[in-house]
Structures are given as structure tokens and as C-alpha cells.
Homo-oligomer: A and B are copies of this chain.
Amino acid sequence: MSDTAIDRRRARGDASRRVILESATDLASVEGLDGLTIGRLAESSGMSKSSIATLFGGKEGLQLAAVQAAADIFREAVVDPARELPRGIARLAKLLRSALDYSRDRVFTGGCFFAATAADMDSKPGPVRDAVRGWLRDWYGYLEAQVRFAAEAGQIRADAATVRRLAFELIALDNEANARSLLTGEDAPYEIAAAAMRERLLQVGAKAEDLQSLA
């Protein structure tokens, strides 16, 4: 084949991957990563089983690609918008708001992709569980780093133990809002969580003008 023909074939492969992964992440958010079989995905994406198998090389390859695709979508929805605000407390508040919105807006049908798939994976050691858990550790670490930066910059009063606990509390509120909204079908949990996050940050000395994202 000519270089152009190879490029075209690659472009078609990339487009097919995107279509399949969009279905796959959404399906996994509802059914769990274990429910992500090539047969079900063929139904929901409209692609043939053999193309899916060719592109991803089996169920595990598909699951790993879905986790990576979900991480990309989360980054675009939550992490990138917060980068527009200065590091520290303002960026932290924006990250928390974007994380609540990402769940509330059902970017994935089953709410937060990682919350939906993590519990499922507890009993299934292997590379897929490692990928989900690795992502959770990274996200929690990133959020805690923002809290630490805000403390170091004097934007909040918090020693090392308080930084760790504060990050834990903020993540707990975010995860609870997602779980409770899925339980009740209501949006109220997001507002309760945002109000609790805001109050908690005010208590450690954050200025109201830095918390506008959570207002």
C-alpha cells in the first residue's frame, strides 16, 4: 500500500476506536467493566464483533482502553477547566465544582465512571483493576496536592495532617453526592455537597472571593 492508503486506513481505525470507546465507557458506567463484553458492545455501538476484536484484541484490551478513554473524558471535563484558574484555592474550588457537574450532567449514563467501576473490581485482581485503582490514586493525589499548595501559599490554615484530612473530606463529599444522586434521582445532593465543601474551606480561612466556583 502507498503511504496515503496506510494513513487512510489508520484514520478509519482511529474513528472506529472512538465510536466503540464512547459506547464502551458509557456501558461500563452502567454495567461495570465486567459487563463490557464484545457481544454487548457490538449491540450498543453498531460495530461488528470481529472489528471490535481486531481493534482491541479481546475483552481485557477493550476494558483497559475504556479506562484510558474515561480518564481522557474526565480530564477534559474536570481537570482542564480548573487549569484556567490560578493554582491553589481558586483552582481547588473549580476542580470540586467541575467534579460535581461532571457527575450531575451524567457525562456517563451511570454517573462517575470510576465510582461505578471501582467497587466492582475489588474482587478481581489484574491489570484492569490496577488501571482503575491507579487512576483513583492519581485523582485523589492531585486533589490533595491542590489542598497542600493552598496551605503552603497561606490561602488556608492547615498543617500536614489537616491537609490530608481535608482532602479526604472533600473527596468524600464528591463521591457521596454522586452515589446519593444515583440512589434518589435528584440533583439536591450536589448542592448539599457544594455547600458543605464551601463551609469547610471557609472554616480553615479560605476567602469567599476564592470560592466563587462553589457559591
- List A residues at the B interface (Cβ < 8 Å): 30-32, 110-111, 115-116, 118-120, 122-123, 133, 136-137, 164-165, 168-169, 171-173, 175-176, 179-180, 182-183, 189, 192-193, 195-196, 203
Indicate if the CB atoms of B119 and A120 lie closer than 8 Å.
Answer: yes
Max count, chain B CB within 10 A of own CB: residue among A30, A168, A172 = A172
Closest approach, in angstroms, between the C-beta of A78 and any C-beta of chain B? Answer: 18
Given contacts A164-B192, A165-B195, 6 further A-B contacts (CB under 8 A): A115-B119, A119-B182, A120-B120, A168-B193, A172-B172, A203-B203
| CB of A191, distance to nearest CB on chain B (Å) | 10
Q: A30 — which chain B residues lie within 8 A by C-beta? A: 122-123
Residue pair A118, B176 in contact (C-beta under 8 Å)? no
CA of A180 to CA of B164, assembled, Å: 13
For A118, list chain B residues within 8 Å (CB). Answer: 179, 183
How many whole Å from A172's CB to the nearest CB in chain B? 3
CB distance from A161 to the nearest CB of B (A): 9
Which interface residue of A111, A123, A137, A180 has the most chain B CB atoms within 10 A? A123
A192 B165 Cβ-Cβ under 8 A:
yes
Q: How far does the Cβ of A171 sit from chain B's closest Cβ, in whole Å? A: 7
Given A115-B119, A119-B119, the answer on whether A196 and B168 have CB atoms closer than 8 Å is yes
Q: Complex: how many Å from CA A203 to CA B200?
A: 11
A110 / chain B contacts, CB cutoff of 8 Å: 122-123
Cβ contact within 8 Å between A122 and B182:
yes
A119, A189, A193 interface centre (most CB from chain B within 10 Å): A119
**19 A-B contacts, Cβ less than 8 Å apart?**
A30-B122, A30-B123, A116-B119, A118-B179, A119-B119, A119-B179, A122-B182, A136-B183, A164-B192, A165-B195, A165-B196, A168-B176, A168-B189, A168-B193, A168-B196, A169-B173, A172-B173, A175-B176, A175-B179
Contact B133–A122 (Cβ < 8 Å): no
